[in-house]
Amino acid sequence: MKETQITLNQTQKIRLQRALDTLHSLSSKSLSDASVTVADKIPVNLNDSSILKGHGTLDLDGELISTNCGIVERIDRLVYVRSTKSRYIPETGNVIVGRVVEVAQDRWKVDINAYHDGVLMLASVTSPDGIQRRRTEADELNMRNTFEEDDVISAEVRNVQNNYTAQLHARSEKYGKITHYTDFLQLDRGQLIVVPCYLVKKRKQHFHQLDEYGVLVILGCNGYVWVGELIEAKDGMELDISEQTHGGFTKSEEEEQHTTLLETRQNICRISNAVRVLSILGFNITLEVILEIFDLSRSLDVEIHDMLGGEFCVLVAEREAERRSQN
């Protein structure tokens, strides 16, 4: 809970504290018991030689010491420490959002809030004409037309190498959604929000298209959340011939002229602030909670910029405490 980010007066502080206390009491006792910090001893039956010592543990002088701050997890004979606050550790299959930092010879280097930059190979991205083929030198020279530095992209971790470098790929339709100007999901009208990565849990779905608001929300497992405009996919048949002759990667002028509606922009901002509030309070970020906060702010007619103020945050905390104590 980043209390320094919001200013609270005295009553608000008390209310917030009360809400957080309720939530603490509701959370499972066993979890808090299992939390350890660095150099804590992990209670384990040391005579049992078949104990598997996983991540975050160290066998020191016959005792099992934790090397992380986190929670001790036990699965059958495996004991490991799941760290709560760390950089993102990539895992195969995770959906992530990243920012391109470098365009190299046949790959892009992407910042994904992990210990190493992610690598997106040219071959791991759908070719502009959609045909499965080898990438030629012309493709390499045209890389910049797809992604440039500082572009925000979404991808999936294909595999993780030994030094925890993630190899990404963006091949499926979802990542390469057909828009009316290129084949890729251009994430350029919206906001990229950085939240602690442990607040975004691995779920079945990370892409959320909110049609009624015209907003696309991507909850990246690495803590980068994209809230942006939802571009309706145009039917491929309607593509102008002239556009096709430009070559797959170029953007047409239409894109420049397309302006986002005011309402969509407001929605984007509201949802982004909802995410920020959750991040400040340290609650898990899921689509349901985001939408709840969104509705709450609209029903109370809270101004968008007021959402980041102290009063709204306290309200959200109280609402959450109420909701959980009811369940």
For binding to other proteins (CB under 8 A), which residues are involved?
48-57, 75-78, 80, 91-93, 95, 156, 162, 172, 174, 201-207
Convert 132-143 into a string of H (helix), E (strand) and C (coil): CCCCCHHHHHCH
Nearest to 118 by CA among 143, 93, 140, 99: 99
Rounded Cα gap, residues 82 and 71, in angstroms: 5
Complex with other proteins: residue 214 or 220, whichever CB lies closer: 220
Min dist CB 59 to other proteins, Å, is 8
Min dist CB 241 to other proteins, Å, is 31
Complex with other proteins: residue 79 or 317, whichever CB lies closer: 79
Complex with other proteins: residue 79 or 143, whichever CB lies closer: 79
> Strand 215-219 vs strand 224-229: parallel, antiparallel, or unpaired?
antiparallel
Complex with other proteins: residue 172 or 284, whichever CB lies closer: 172
Rounded Cα gap, residues 116 and 109, in angstroms: 10
Complex with other proteins: residue 201 or 298, whichever CB lies closer: 201
Beta bridge partners of 60: 63
283 and 313 Cβ atoms separated by less than 8 Å: no
* Tokens coding 326: 């009811």
Complex with other proteins: residue 69 or 101, whichever CB lies closer: 69
Min dist CB 80 to other proteins, Å, is 6
Rounded Cα gap, residues 127 and 176, in angstroms: 10
For residue 97, what are the contacts with CB-CB under 8 A and spacing of at least 6? 112, 152, 153, 154, 187, 192, 218, 220, 222, 224, 225, 226
Min dist CB 223 to other proteins, Å, is 17
Rounded Cα gap, residues 307 and 294, in angstroms: 10
Complex with other proteins: residue 77 or 144, whichever CB lies closer: 77
- Amino acid identity at 250: T
CA distances from 273 to 42, 48, 266, 269 (A): 40, 51, 11, 6
Min dist CB 183 to other proteins, Å, is 17
Complex with other proteins: residue 15 or 174, whichever CB lies closer: 174
Min dist CB 48 to other proteins, Å, is 8
Min dist CB 249 to other proteins, Å, is 24
Instruction: Go through the chain and tell me how many residues it has.
Output: 327
197 and 266 Cβ atoms separated by less than 8 Å: no
Radius of gyration for the chain, computed over Cα atoms and rounded to the nearest angstrom? 23
- Amino acid identity at 68: N
Min dist CB 4 to other proteins, Å, is 33
